[in-house]
Amino acid sequence: MKVGKIVYLLFIVSSISFGSCKNKSSESATGIDEKVEIANEVPKGKYSIKSGIVEYKTEMMGVDAKQIITFDDFGKKEITEVLMDVMGTKIHSVTLNKDGYIYNYDMVNKTGTKRLAANIKTPDIDFENMTKEMIKDMNLKKIGSEKFLGKNCEKVTIDSKSMQMKGTYLIYKGVPLMVNTDLGTMKMNLLAQKFIENPSISDGKFSVPADVKISEK
């Protein structure tokens, strides 16, 4: 089992995010079969709440991990941390999205990279601003609602052949609180253990630690 591969897959699956911006020309996860119009609403980001902290328990390929997502400015600033222990090897990997750049760094080895976000292809999915073609391609369906961590969540499924992935999600205001995905030979479960809505977050949270050496790609 390759530790690096597990970390990479954790980021790939968990980075599937649920933006909540709406516009008049898009179909949203809240109304896949009908048009949704929100007058005078200005998109603010991929979440419809200003800030949040979500702590997840993650299981993939028989490995348990802790994952923490912290965001502010409706998702314009976001940091994802993965912490786990694989056969005695401690891992603390971080992805920071800020000011048009994506930083990936290792808090154990204190090294990382910086890249322009525009040059990186990610599997992010904005379920609230999807075209009819995207909905059809992903076979996206809203199958109901469910209460989770005291929040009224939308329950959504996708079955994407192009992404080679099936999944079931519980979404609250754009924030995924439960993700179950099937990547063919691999399955991943992401379950929120704690969710703080609209906390005050110091800007320092979105800064690369001074002792981490970053190389620009």
Which residue did the predictor score with more confidence, 20 or 143?
Answer: 143
Hunting for tokens 């499924």 — which residue is that?
157
- Report the pLDDT value the prediction gives residue 22, as an integer from 0 to 100: 38
- Report the pLDDT value the prediction gives residue 63, as an integer from 0 to 100: 79
The answer, yes or no, to whether residue 35 has pLDDT greater than 50, is no
User: Which contacts (CB < 8 Å, 24+ apart) does range 104-113 have?
Assistant: 105/208, 105/212, 105/214, 106/212, 107/209, 107/212, 110/209, 110/211, 110/212, 110/213, 111/212, 111/213, 111/214, 111/215, 112/208, 112/212, 112/213, 112/214, 112/215, 113/214, 113/215, 113/216, 113/217
Q: Which whole number is the average pLDDT over 196-205?
A: 96
pLDDT more than 90, % of the chain: 46
The answer, yes or no, to whether residue 208 has pLDDT greater than 70, is yes
- Report the pLDDT value the prediction gives residue 20, as an integer from 0 to 100: 34
CA dist list (Å): 154 to 28, 36, 117, 128, 213: 12, 16, 29, 12, 41
Residue 213 lies in a domain: no
Domain that holds residue 137: 3-200
Mean pLDDT of the chain: 80
CATH code of the domain containing 196? 2.50.20.10
Which residue did the predictor score with more confidence, 16 or 153?
Answer: 153
Residue 58 lies in a domain: yes
The answer, yes or no, to whether residue 118 has pLDDT greater than 60, is yes
pLDDT single digits (tens) 41-95: 444 577 889 999 999 998 877 778 999 999 999 889 999 999 998 888 899 999 9
The answer, yes or no, to whether residue 184 has pLDDT greater than 90, is no
- Report the pLDDT value the prediction gives residue 30, as an integer from 0 to 100: 44
Residue 20 lies in a domain: yes
* Domains of the chain: total: 1
- Report the pLDDT value the prediction gives residue 113, as an integer from 0 to 100: 95
CA dist list (Å): 112 to 43, 210, 217: 32, 12, 10
- Report the pLDDT value the prediction gives residue 72, as an integer from 0 to 100: 96
Residue 209 lies in a domain: no
pLDDT-derived band at 24 (thresholds 50, 70, 90) equals very low
pLDDT-derived band at 136 (thresholds 50, 70, 90) equals confident
